Protein backbone atom coordinates (compact mmCIF):
# COMPACT_ATOMS: atom_id res chain seq x y z
CA UNK A 1 0.00 0.00 0.00
CA UNK A 2 1.46 3.34 -1.03
CA UNK A 3 1.40 6.13 1.50
CA UNK A 4 2.33 9.79 1.32
CA UNK A 5 3.17 11.47 4.60
CA UNK A 6 1.11 14.65 4.60
CA UNK A 7 2.19 16.67 7.61
CA UNK A 8 0.01 19.06 9.51
CA UNK A 9 0.67 22.52 8.13
CA UNK A 10 0.05 25.38 10.57
CA UNK A 11 -0.79 27.59 7.58
CA UNK A 12 -3.48 25.23 6.28
CA UNK A 13 -5.20 23.81 9.37
CA UNK A 14 -8.28 24.65 11.41
CA UNK A 15 -9.37 23.20 14.76
CA UNK A 16 -12.93 22.02 15.43
CA UNK A 17 -13.90 21.50 19.07
CA UNK A 18 -17.18 19.61 19.01
CA UNK A 19 -19.57 19.25 21.94
CA UNK A 20 -17.22 19.53 24.89
CA UNK A 21 -20.31 20.17 27.02
CA UNK A 22 -20.79 19.82 30.74
CA UNK A 23 -23.47 17.16 30.41
CA UNK A 24 -21.78 15.12 27.71
CA UNK A 25 -18.44 15.14 29.53
CA UNK A 26 -20.11 13.05 32.25
CA UNK A 27 -20.27 10.24 29.68
CA UNK A 28 -16.50 10.08 29.23
CA UNK A 29 -15.20 6.94 30.96
CA UNK A 30 -12.36 5.86 28.67
CA UNK A 31 -10.12 8.40 30.41
CA UNK A 32 -10.01 9.86 33.90
CA UNK A 33 -11.85 13.18 34.27
CA UNK A 34 -8.65 15.04 35.17
CA UNK A 35 -6.63 13.59 32.29
CA UNK A 36 -9.41 14.23 29.81
CA UNK A 37 -9.89 17.85 30.87
CA UNK A 38 -6.14 18.43 30.78
CA UNK A 39 -5.88 17.02 27.25
CA UNK A 40 -8.77 19.11 25.97
CA UNK A 41 -7.30 22.29 27.41
CA UNK A 42 -3.86 21.32 26.11
CA UNK A 43 -5.28 21.02 22.59
CA UNK A 44 -6.93 24.40 23.05
CA UNK A 45 -3.64 25.90 24.23
CA UNK A 46 -1.91 24.36 21.21
CA UNK A 47 -4.43 26.00 18.89
CA UNK A 48 -3.86 29.34 20.61
CA UNK A 49 -0.08 28.98 20.53
CA UNK A 50 -0.03 28.36 16.78
CA UNK A 51 -2.80 30.91 16.15
CA UNK A 52 -4.97 28.32 14.42
CA UNK A 53 -8.52 29.26 13.44
CA UNK A 54 -10.74 27.43 15.91
CA UNK A 55 -14.47 26.74 15.80
CA UNK A 56 -16.51 25.78 18.85
CA UNK A 57 -19.86 24.05 18.58
CA UNK A 58 -22.44 22.55 20.91
CA UNK A 59 -25.51 20.39 20.38
CA UNK A 60 -28.85 21.00 22.13
CA UNK A 61 -27.16 22.81 24.99
CA UNK A 62 -30.48 23.84 26.51
CA UNK A 63 -31.24 20.15 26.96
CA UNK A 64 -29.36 17.45 28.86
CA UNK A 65 -26.13 17.94 26.91
CA UNK A 66 -25.47 21.13 28.85
CA UNK A 67 -23.37 24.22 28.07
CA UNK A 68 -19.86 24.33 26.68
CA UNK A 69 -17.27 23.84 29.41
CA UNK A 70 -16.41 27.36 30.61
CA UNK A 71 -12.64 27.04 30.21
CA UNK A 72 -12.99 26.65 26.44
CA UNK A 73 -15.43 29.53 26.18
CA UNK A 74 -12.99 31.74 28.08
CA UNK A 75 -10.04 30.58 25.98
CA UNK A 76 -11.70 31.32 22.63
CA UNK A 77 -13.72 34.47 23.16
CA UNK A 78 -13.13 35.64 19.58
CA UNK A 79 -13.75 32.31 17.83
CA UNK A 80 -16.93 31.28 16.01
CA UNK A 81 -19.35 29.59 18.41
CA UNK A 82 -22.10 27.55 16.81
CA UNK A 83 -24.85 26.44 19.20
CA UNK A 84 -26.65 23.82 17.12
CA UNK A 85 -30.37 23.61 17.93
CA UNK A 86 -30.43 19.83 17.68
CA UNK A 87 -28.29 18.51 14.84
CA UNK A 88 -26.40 15.46 16.09
CA UNK A 89 -23.89 15.59 13.25
CA UNK A 90 -22.35 19.06 13.34
CA UNK A 91 -21.84 18.83 9.57
CA UNK A 92 -25.63 18.85 9.16
CA UNK A 93 -25.67 22.39 10.54
CA UNK A 94 -25.33 25.00 7.81
CA UNK A 95 -23.76 27.65 10.06
CA UNK A 96 -21.09 25.21 11.24
CA UNK A 97 -20.14 24.17 7.72
CA UNK A 98 -20.05 27.81 6.63
CA UNK A 99 -17.69 28.62 9.50
CA UNK A 100 -15.40 25.72 8.53
CA UNK A 101 -15.31 26.73 4.88
CA UNK A 102 -14.72 30.37 5.81
CA UNK A 103 -11.35 29.42 7.34
CA UNK A 104 -10.10 28.48 3.87
CA UNK A 105 -8.14 25.59 5.41
CA UNK A 106 -8.08 22.06 3.98
CA UNK A 107 -6.73 20.23 7.02
CA UNK A 108 -9.08 19.82 9.99
CA UNK A 109 -8.11 18.85 13.52
CA UNK A 110 -11.19 17.53 15.33
CA UNK A 111 -11.84 16.57 18.95
CA UNK A 112 -15.05 16.17 20.91
CA UNK A 113 -17.54 14.19 22.97
CA UNK A 114 -18.59 11.48 22.29
CA UNK A 115 -16.05 9.91 19.96
CA UNK A 116 -18.27 7.60 17.94
CA UNK A 117 -20.90 10.28 17.29
CA UNK A 118 -19.92 13.91 17.80
CA UNK A 119 -16.39 13.32 16.50
CA UNK A 120 -16.87 10.52 13.98
CA UNK A 121 -19.89 11.94 12.17
CA UNK A 122 -18.38 15.33 11.19
CA UNK A 123 -14.98 13.72 10.60
CA UNK A 124 -16.47 11.28 8.09
CA UNK A 125 -18.55 14.04 6.51
CA UNK A 126 -15.50 16.28 6.11
CA UNK A 127 -13.47 13.49 4.51
CA UNK A 128 -16.29 12.98 2.03
CA UNK A 129 -16.04 16.66 1.09
CA UNK A 130 -12.31 16.44 0.43
CA UNK A 131 -10.80 17.61 3.71
CA UNK A 132 -7.80 15.95 5.31
CA UNK A 133 -8.96 15.09 8.81
CA UNK A 134 -6.95 14.51 11.98
CA UNK A 135 -8.79 13.38 15.12
CA UNK A 136 -7.14 14.10 18.46
CA UNK A 137 -7.78 10.84 20.29
CA UNK A 138 -6.83 11.95 23.80
CA UNK A 139 -8.96 15.12 23.63
CA UNK A 140 -12.00 13.08 22.60
CA UNK A 141 -13.90 10.78 24.91
CA UNK A 142 -16.67 8.22 25.13
CA UNK A 143 -18.30 5.53 27.27
CA UNK A 144 -15.60 2.87 27.26
CA UNK A 145 -12.68 1.35 25.36
CA UNK A 146 -14.90 -0.81 23.15
CA UNK A 147 -16.93 2.10 21.76
CA UNK A 148 -13.75 4.12 21.34
CA UNK A 149 -12.05 1.35 19.35
CA UNK A 150 -15.11 0.91 17.13
CA UNK A 151 -15.11 4.64 16.38
CA UNK A 152 -11.38 4.68 15.67
CA UNK A 153 -11.65 1.74 13.27
CA UNK A 154 -14.54 3.32 11.40
CA UNK A 155 -12.75 6.63 11.01
CA UNK A 156 -9.41 5.10 10.08
CA UNK A 157 -11.14 3.05 7.41
CA UNK A 158 -12.28 6.31 5.83
CA UNK A 159 -8.79 7.84 5.94
CA UNK A 160 -9.02 9.85 9.15
CA UNK A 161 -5.68 10.08 10.96
CA UNK A 162 -5.56 9.60 14.73
CA UNK A 163 -3.18 11.73 16.77
CA UNK A 164 -2.63 13.07 20.29
CA UNK A 165 -2.43 16.72 21.28
CA UNK A 166 1.31 16.32 21.93
CA UNK A 167 1.85 14.83 18.49
CA UNK A 168 -0.17 17.62 16.91
CA UNK A 169 1.95 20.27 18.63
CA UNK A 170 5.22 18.64 17.61
CA UNK A 171 4.19 18.15 13.99
CA UNK A 172 3.03 21.75 13.71
CA UNK A 173 6.21 23.11 15.31
CA UNK A 174 8.64 21.04 13.19
CA UNK A 175 11.85 22.32 14.79
CA UNK A 176 12.70 23.12 18.42
CA UNK A 177 14.80 26.05 17.25
CA UNK A 178 11.65 27.86 16.13
CA UNK A 179 10.79 28.65 19.76
CA UNK A 180 12.29 26.62 22.59
CA UNK A 181 10.74 28.67 25.40
CA UNK A 182 7.25 28.87 23.94
CA UNK A 183 6.89 25.20 23.08
CA UNK A 184 8.52 24.18 26.35
CA UNK A 185 6.04 26.31 28.26
CA UNK A 186 3.11 24.77 26.40
CA UNK A 187 4.28 21.26 27.23
CA UNK A 188 5.22 21.97 30.84
CA UNK A 189 1.83 23.56 31.52
CA UNK A 190 0.07 20.29 30.71
CA UNK A 191 2.64 17.54 31.36
CA UNK A 192 4.14 17.43 34.88
CA UNK A 193 7.01 15.24 33.70
CA UNK A 194 7.80 17.76 30.97
CA UNK A 195 7.84 20.55 33.53
CA UNK A 196 10.65 18.64 35.27
CA UNK A 197 12.50 18.39 31.96
CA UNK A 198 12.19 22.11 31.28
CA UNK A 199 13.16 22.96 34.86
CA UNK A 200 16.34 20.93 34.46
CA UNK A 201 17.04 22.57 31.11
CA UNK A 202 16.59 26.08 32.52
CA UNK A 203 18.85 25.29 35.47
CA UNK A 204 21.74 24.62 33.12
CA UNK A 205 21.49 27.95 31.34
Residues with catalytic function: 118
Report d(CA 68, CA 1) in Å as an integer. Answer: 41
Q: Quick check: 108 and 16 in contact, CB under 8 A?
A: yes
Q: Give 37's contacts (C-beta < 8 A, 6+ positions apart).
A: 25, 69, 71
Cα radius of gyration rounded to whole Å, the chain: 17
Residue 111 β-bridge partners: 17
Q: What CA–CA distance (Å, rounded) separates 173 from 183?
A: 8
DSSP state, residue 115: I
CB neighbourhood size of 156 (10 A): 12
Distance CA 190, CA 188 (A): 5
d(CA 134, CA 127): 10
Spell out a b/e string for 164-200, using b for 16 or more CB atoms within 10 Å of the CB, else e.
ebbbbbbebbeeeeeeeeebbebbbebbeebeeebee
Amino acid sequence: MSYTYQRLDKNNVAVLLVDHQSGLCNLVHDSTPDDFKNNVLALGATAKYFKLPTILTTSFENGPNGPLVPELKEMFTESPYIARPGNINAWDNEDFVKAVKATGKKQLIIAGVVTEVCVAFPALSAVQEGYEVFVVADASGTFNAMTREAAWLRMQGAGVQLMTWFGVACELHRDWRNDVEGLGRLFSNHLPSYRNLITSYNAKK
